[in-house]
Amino acid sequence: MRQSQDSTIDTVAKLGAVSVAMFAFVFVVMVPLYNVLCDALGINGKTSSEAYISVSAEVDESRSIKVQFIATNNDGMPWAFSPQVTEMLVHPGAANDTVFFAANPTVNAMVAQAIPSVSPSRAAEYFHKTECFCFEQQPLDGNGEAEMPLQFIVDQDLPADIKTITLSYTLFDVTSLMSDKVASR
Amino acid sequence: MLNARALAATAPLPLAANAQNQVNMSTGVSEAGAVITDLGVEIYDLHMLIFWICVVIGIGVFGVMLYSIYAHRKSKGVEPSQFHEHTGVEIAWTIVPFFILIGMAVPATSTLLEVYDNDDAEMSILVTGYQWKWKYEYLDADGENVAFFSNLATSQEQIYNTDTKGENYLLEVDEPLVIPVDTKVRFLITANDVIHSWWVPEIAVKRDAIPGFINEAWTRVLAEGVYRGQCTELCGAYHGFMPVEVHVVGQDEFDDWMAAKKGAAAADAALAATELSVDELMARGEDVYNASCLACHGANGEGGLGNAIAGSAIAMGGLDSHLNVIVNGVAGTAMQAFGAQLSDVDVAAVTTYQRNAFGNNTGDVVQASDVVSYKEG
Amino acid sequence: MGDHHHGPAEGLSRWLYTTNHKDIGTMYLWFSFAMFLLGGAFAMVIRAELFQPGMQLVEPGFFNQMTTLHGLVMVFGAIMPSFVGLANWLIPMMIGAPDMALPRMNNWSFWILPPAFLMLASTLLMEGGAPAFGWTFYAPLSTTYAPPSVTFFIFAIHILGVSSIMGSINIIATVMNMRAPGMTYMKMPLFVWTWLITAFLLVAVMPVLAGAVTMMLMDIHFGTSFFSAAGGGDPVLFQHIFWFFGHPEVYIIILPAFGVISQIIPAFSRKPLFGYASMVYATAAIAFLSFIVWAHHMYTVGMPVAGELFFMYATMLIAVPTGVKVFNWVTTMWRGAMTFETPMLFSIGFLVLFTIGGFTGLMLSIAPADFQYHDTYFVVAHFHYVMVAGAVFSMTAAIYFWLPKWTGRMYNETMGKVHFWVSFIGFNITFFPQHFVGLAGMPRRIPDYALQFADFNMMSSIGAFIYGASQLLFLYNVIAAIVAGEKVSDEKVWDGAEGLEWTLPSPPPYHTFETPPKIEEQPAH
């Protein structure tokens, strides 16, 4: 009986540790792993949130890639938000730039965050932004307007079967997050 | 399983697209025998292949069981065998199913690769799921995107059983999506608020709409017609009330429709510069109210999911606060910012309507120019 | 350990303070049956509204509360605790142990359940109503757009998780450390094996569910953005975490049910279980595979094609060990000498209907076809076939099978058969037509539907009322047996029953196997 009691406590301790470890696994492994895999494999359509340092390279004149731009507002975001051009043809390796317009129609100062998403998602790792308004939050005073720049390079290694890349920005209202109030709905 | 083609051949009347008591998936072929989409046919055929394999296995397994139930019963006086192992047989019924699965996986893989072949499209349409309607925006190379909302058109009276239900009950909208036939269309799918999902069974396209992210899907519809679908991801109270209606038309008809839409957008902009009569505003306002406000605020402004408008302090009080609610929504509630969804004329009309209908009778008249000034602060 | 030579305490405090595995098993079983009726009541509201097109009885928002609570109560309140109740009653007796390894923790594992469900049910009365985002509670519908009751929902889930984890630790510790001498692992009844494997699954994945709801809590109340794109998060991350729990969860539900069937079919075939070792390995294979298939619940979410293909292949693979088990049960029946008392009827019903659910599962695993099935009634039909005709039929068979041992009284066999046939017919009328409407285009979780789905929906609702009513018959049968059933004269009760529990008196004494029994050299299997 004594031995079975000791081994019971031993079993329980191990299983308890497994439970705690699995709980920690969710936060410490699953979340970072999801983000790492998405970044590394470019599979979530999420582009990098840091400026790409371009290594000057050849421009591949033989390929033309159509890049489409979409600007949408998330729920409750009243800003006018639109791309200067809806699409452009680019060569892999070439530096391109364009502009998005934003206007705050309310009388209050607001802060926005633009979240990019690329389709097809596997093109995301080949879409390099050297400058993007999405890297930072965008504040605008009441009735303010802004022209927000985007500079990008499509990597020469973009798989041959991809001919169209769509870059969508969703604009979120993060004013309340910035004023140190807990965001709750 | 019955398939639509076989039934169409034998039934006295052709099956309607929304066939009563349909027992199987859409075949991908219309009742007239025209292929709707190649991918739809491929998916249907794959579905039936797996189904028949399961039927054959089922007949085998259940056949053995039923025979055993009949023949191996104590009441027949049989003595039970005591065998309880047979390695050979066990290996066999592990290996053979494995090979059957490979046989299924091969066509499944090739069809899945087809589903993901989104490139080389001739047009792109941004599909956005809202609580509780769809927005369609045609991405135009010149930047003149035509965009509109597609709301459920079935009346509340039909839903609440005070009026007979129409043939396309819950599957009809005020502004359908129109696309040209035999054109590869690429859908870019996202959502405004929660996760939705865009599905049209007969063209075999379904993709989740995730807020902040873009998904893509494609179709090439070969048969003109009207195809209906629904939202297929729980998105809140009216998840069952945001259908999809797609009209596939010839290229000429599409071009005319597109021109008319662009014209209408221009006309609306021009209208915003004019003054409308009270009657015009009330009539237009009632239409806007029925499409966009009624489901939550009631046919008589009595409220429901949303607050009452009849006798409300907001609808009868200061115009600025009333416009604020309509244009900017109310953060933390289901009241959306309709300023982004309705034209200035529509906002003016529905505000006028709310201020004068349901017994509110403020006598206020709101013009598009009032809305514009309000927005400019 | 001390000596216990007294019987149970008297009155309410007996039940409140008991550490006896038989008492605790009884409480789990009665609690789960009450939850089954509660979850069933929610289902009756759903099917009553869906009886005809149009909104007749409830508002769409309330309908969503019903579907959500139906799922939560059935999965976490009815099915899971019922099998824990079985585990408590049977595992110690089957392995020749006097009780569970941790009897006081056992008491806690049970007693935190009623308050948790009271809290969950009370959300119906809260401002904003009960959770209405489905039992799968995807973000952001369950975070940014959730009613205030979501916090109580999260709290309830945490409590349920703790109960399951404690219960599983107890089961593993008991099986690993308290088997009577001579009871090697490969001599254990298959029911014990399936519970042992299930308990490992629970210890591994219930904390993942706890993690998911904790992240929800943080997003809702503490300004984080795990699931919100605005802050750099992703709603799809929620789905990955949830289904990493969710898929093993469905095997947690079904593996003990498999174990029950593996006890009952041999008993009524008067023949040993065919392929005992393969059954153990197949169960372990299913448990292992269950960790790598989760995204087949997410085929339409926009995953890259390589991911879709991986999950499709892995999911299809599960058909192999599951098929092995079905073939082994059928081969157990083959050339046996069968009788068809109620437990056997429910077991055969399980075998047929679970297999049908398995076939629709195989169809669903085919990713391109799933684009047409996903989030339709085809899926609803599939999981009700495996969970109701699977797990619930198995549980019902278990009750009829072991009730005479637990109480010393036999149920009325004719009434048992009536219960079976009404259940079987009612179940199929309810859920078979749902395959059709799903294929024809009817989505899930909608309170109203297009006219072409009307006839099959009416049929399904009628079936549901029949099936629901038959569960009241079940209640009557059990109570009638306990109160006035014929006393059992033979310890063995059933001619072909094998296992240590059948060597005990009926009902067994309050404490059993305080001295370990002798295990025969020749195992029954």
Residue in A45, A75, A86 nearest the CB of B336: A75
* DSSP label at residue B147: E
Active-site option among C290, C322, C347, C355: C322
- For residue A40, with 0-12 CB atoms within 10 Å meaning exposed, 13-18 middle and 19 or more buried, which class applies? exposed
Are A10 and A69 in a shared domain? no
pLDDT band at A180 (very low <50, low <70, confident <90, very high): very low
**Chain C contact partners (≥3 CB pairs within 8 A):** A, B
User: CA–CA separation, A37 vs A30, rounded Å?
Assistant: 10
Q: Are residues B167 and B102 in the same domain?
A: no
Q: What is the mean predicted confidence (pLDDT) over B95-118?
A: 96
Asked if A111 and A34 sit in the same domain, the reply is: no
What whole-number distance in Å separates Cα of residue C371 and Cα of residue B75? 49
Domain match, A72 and A152 both? yes
Contact C230 A49 (CB under 8 A): no
Over residues B238-292, the pLDDT tens digits come to 999 999 999 999 999 999 999 999 998 888 888 888 899 999 999 999 999 988 8
Average pLDDT, rounded, for chain B: 91
Residues of B in contact with C55 (CB under 8 A): 159-161
Q: Which residues, in sequence order, are CB contacts of C458 under 8 Å at separation 6+? A: C51, C52
What pLDDT, on a 0 to 100 scale, did the predictor assign at position B3?
44
Does the beta carbon of C285 lie under 8 angstroms from any beta carbon of chain B? no
User: Is C221 annotated in the active site?
Assistant: no
Task: Tell me the β-bridge partners of C486.
Answer: C410
Report pLDDT for C238.
Answer: 97
Domain shared by B77 and B188, yes or no: no
Look at residue A16 in the predicted model and tell me its pLDDT: 93
* CA pair distance C342, C403, nearest whole angstrom: 12
Out of B98, B115, B132, pick the residue that ends a domain.
B115
Decide if A107 is inside a domain. yes
- Asked about C164 being catalytic, the answer comes back as yes
Contact call for A22 and C204, based on CB within 8 A = yes
Residues of B in contact with C56 (CB under 8 A): 161
Q: Which two tokens stand for residue B275?
A: 């003054």
* One domain, residues B71 and B96: yes
Across the interface, which of C204, C211, C241 has its CB nearest the CB of A18?
C204
- When pLDDT is averaged across residues C201-225 and rounded to a whole number, the result is 96
> What integer pLDDT is reported at residue B173 of this predicted model?
96
How distant, in Å, are the alpha carbons of C246, C309, C362 from that of C316? 17, 11, 6
Give the A-side interface with C, CB within 8 Å. 1, 4, 7-8, 11-12, 15-16, 18-23, 25-27, 30-31, 34, 38, 41, 43-46, 49, 74, 113, 115, 121-122, 170, 172, 174, 177, 182-185
CB contact C234 to B (< 8 Å): yes
Given a contact cutoff of 8 angstroms between Cβ atoms, the answer to whether B176 and B261 are in contact is no
In terms of Cα–Cα distance, which of A153, A169, A69 is closest to B141?
A69
The residue type at B109: T
pLDDT for position A69: 95
pLDDT, position A184? 34
Say if the Cβ atoms of A184 and C220 lie within 8 Å: yes
Residue A104 identity (one-letter amino acid) = N
d(CA B238, CA A99): 38
Domain end position, chosen among B82, B115, B148: B115
Tokens of B132: 């509780």
Residues of chain C positioned with their CB less than 8 A from the CB of A41: 304
Q: Which chains lie within 8 Å of chain B at 3 or more CB pairs, if any?
A: A, C
Within this chain, do residues B230 and B321 fall inside the same structural domain, yes or no?
no
Whether the CB of B164 is below 8 Å from some CB of chain C: the reply is: no
In the predicted model, is pLDDT for residue C226 greater than 60? yes
Contacts of C335 in chain B (CB under 8 A): 68, 72, 78, 80-81, 83
Domain of B207 in residue numbering reads as 123-268
Q: Is A56 a domain residue?
A: no
Q: Residue B233: phi, psi to the nearest 5? A: -150, 125
Domain with residue A120: its CATH number is: 2.60.370.10
Residue B162: how many other CB atoms lie within 10 Å: 11
**Catalytic annotation on C21?**
no
Which candidate in C47, C179, C187, C325 is catalytic?
Answer: C325
Residues of C in contact with B74 (CB under 8 A): 270, 337-339
Q: Which of C279, C420, C432 is nearest to C346 (CA)?
A: C420
Q: How many domains does chain B have?
A: 3
Q: Is the CB of C186 inside 8 Å of chain B's CB atoms? A: no
Alpha-carbon gap, residue B179 to B176, rounded angstroms: 10
Query: What one-character-per-residue DSSP string does B198-233 give?
Result: EEEGGGTEEEEE-BT--EEEEEE--S-EEEEEEE-S
How close does chain C come to B264, measured CA to CA in Å? 32
Tell me what pLDDT residue C525 has: 46
Q: In sequence order, what DSSP letters do the residues of chain A get, joined into one string?
A: -HHHHHHHHHHHHHHHHHHHHHHHHIIIIIHHHHHHHHHHHTTTSPPPSS---PPP----TT--EEEEEEEEE-TT---EEEES-SEEEE-TT-EEEEEEEEE--SSS-EEEEEEEEEESGGGGGGEEEEEEGGGS-EEE-TT-EEEEEEEEEE-TTS-TT--EEEEEEEEEE-HHHHTTPPP--
Its sign, for the CA torsion B11, B15, B20, B21, is: positive
Residues A33 and A83 in one domain: no
Among B291, B305, B350, which Cα is nearest to B155's?
A: B291
- Active-site hit among C187, C296, C405, C419: C296
In this structure, are A76 and A154 located in the same domain?
yes
Tokens standing for residue C77 = 């309140």
Q: Are residues B99 and B44 in the same domain?
A: yes
How buried is B88 (Cβ within 10 angstroms: 0-12 exposed, 13-18 middle, 19+ buried)? exposed
Residue B43 belongs to a domain: yes
Q: What is the CATH number of the domain that holds B344?
A: 1.10.760.10
Q: What angle do CA A22, A23, A26 make, to 5 degrees?
A: 85
Quick: pLDDT tens for C117-168: 999 999 999 999 999 999 999 999 999 999 999 999 999 999 999 999 999 9
Tell me the two tokens of residue C416: 């048992």
> Chain B residues with CB inside 8 Å of A115's CB?
212
Q: Distance from C161 to chain B by nearest Cα, in Å?
A: 25
- CATH number of the structural domain spanning residue B43: 1.10.287.90
| B337/A78 CB distance under 8 A | yes
Q: Do residues A26 and A79 share a domain?
A: no
Domain identity same for B248 and B214: yes
Are A7 and C176 inside 8 Å of each other by CB? yes
Mean pLDDT throughout C415-423? Answer: 98
- Partner-chain residue, chosen from C338, C375, C439, that has the shortest CB–CB distance to B73: C338
Q: Is the peptide bond before C140 cis (omega within 30 degrees of 0)?
A: yes
Query: Residue C384: in which H helix or E strand, if any?
Result: helix C377-386
Among A119-133, B319-333, C1-15, the minimum mean pLDDT is found in C1-15
Spatial CA neighbour of B31 closest among B14, B19, B43, B45: B14
Touching B: A residues 6-65, CB under 8 Å:
44-45
* Residue A89 pLDDT level (bands cut at 50, 70, 90): very high
Question: Has residue A183 been placed in a domain?
Answer: no
Sorted by where each begins, the domain ranges of chain C are 17-503
In a domain? residue B29: no
Tell me if A51 is assigned to some domain: no
**Which residue in this structure is represented by tokens 């589903």?**
B115
- Same domain, yes or no: B245 and B329: no
> Tens of pLDDT along C275-332?
999 999 999 999 999 999 999 999 999 999 999 999 999 999 999 999 999 999 999 9
Give the pLDDT confidence score for residue B1 in this predicted structure. Answer: 37
Q: How confident is the model at residue A38 (pLDDT cuts 50, 70, 90)?
A: confident
Structure ipTM? 0.94
- Report the predicted TM-score, pTM, of the whole model to 2 decimal places: 0.93
Q: Which chain B residue lies closest to A82 (C-alpha atoms)?
A: B143
Question: Span C17-503: which CATH code?
Answer: 1.20.210.10
Instruction: Determine, for residues C211 and A26 on separate chains, whether the beta-carbon distance falls below 8 Å.
Output: yes
Q: At what angle do helices C319-333 and B87-115 cross, to 10 degrees?
A: 140
> A166, exposed or middle or buried, with CB in 10 Å at 0-12, 13-18, 19+?
buried
**φ and ψ of B307, to 5 deg:** -70, 160
Number of domains in chain A: 2
Window 97-136 of B: residues touching C by CB (8 A cutoff) are 97-98, 101, 104-105, 108-109, 111-116
Q: C229, A172 in Cβ contact below 8 A?
A: yes
C515: CB partners within 8 A, 6+ apart:
none
% of chain C with per-residue pLDDT over 70: 98
Taking the C-alpha atoms of residue A130 and residue C305, their distance in angstroms, rounded to an integer, is 29
| Residue C316 · residue C295 · CB < 8 Å | no
Same domain, B312 and B186: no
How far apart are the C-alpha atoms of B88 and B66, rounded to whole Å?
Answer: 24
Contact C308 B112 (CB under 8 A): yes
Q: Which of C332, C371, C456 sits opposite B115 (nearest CB)?
A: C371
Which residues are CB-neighbours of A89 under 8 A, at least 6 positions away? A64, A65, A66, A67
Residue B300 forms part of a structural domain: yes
pLDDT tens-digit readout, C67-121: 999 999 999 999 999 999 999 999 999 999 999 999 999 999 999 999 999 999 9
Q: Is the dihedral of CA A128, B207, C232, C207 positive or negative?
A: negative
A72 in any annotated domain: yes
Same domain, A11 and A91: no
Same domain, A26 and A116: no
What confidence category does residue B18 fall into, taking pLDDT thresholds of 50, 70 and 90? low
Boundaries of domain holding A78: 65-178
Query: C240 forms bridges with which residues in the sheet?
Result: none
Same domain, B299 and B204: no
> Among B270, B268, B281, which residue's Cα sits nearest to residue B367?
B281
What sign results for the dihedral spanned by CA atoms C384, C389, C394, C397?
Answer: positive
DSSP string, C459-474: HHHHHHHHHHHHHHHH
* Contact between chains at A177 and C231 (C-beta distance less than 8 A): yes
Number of H helices, E strands in chain C: 18, 2
With H, G, I as helix, E, B as strand and everything else as coil, classify residue B4: helix
| Cβ neighbours of B128 in A, within 8 Å | 72
Query: What is the DSSP secondary structure assignment for residue B116, as one 8-state letter?
Result: T
Type of residue at A107:
V
Q: Report the b/e string of C16-38 with b at 16+ CB within 10 A.
A: eebebbbbbbbbbbebbbbbbbb
pLDDT tens across B325-341, in order? Answer: 998 888 777 788 888 78
Measured between alpha carbons, how far is B331 from B324 in angstroms, rounded to an integer? 11
At A41 the pLDDT is 66
Q: Tell me which chain A residue has its CA closest to the CA of residue C227.
A: A31
pLDDT tier for residue B373 given thresholds of 50, 70 and 90: confident
Mean of the pLDDT values across residues C211-226?
95
Could you tell me which of B15, B56, B239, A15 has the C-alpha nearest to residue C68? Answer: B239
The two three-digit tokens of residue A9, written as one number? 């406590």
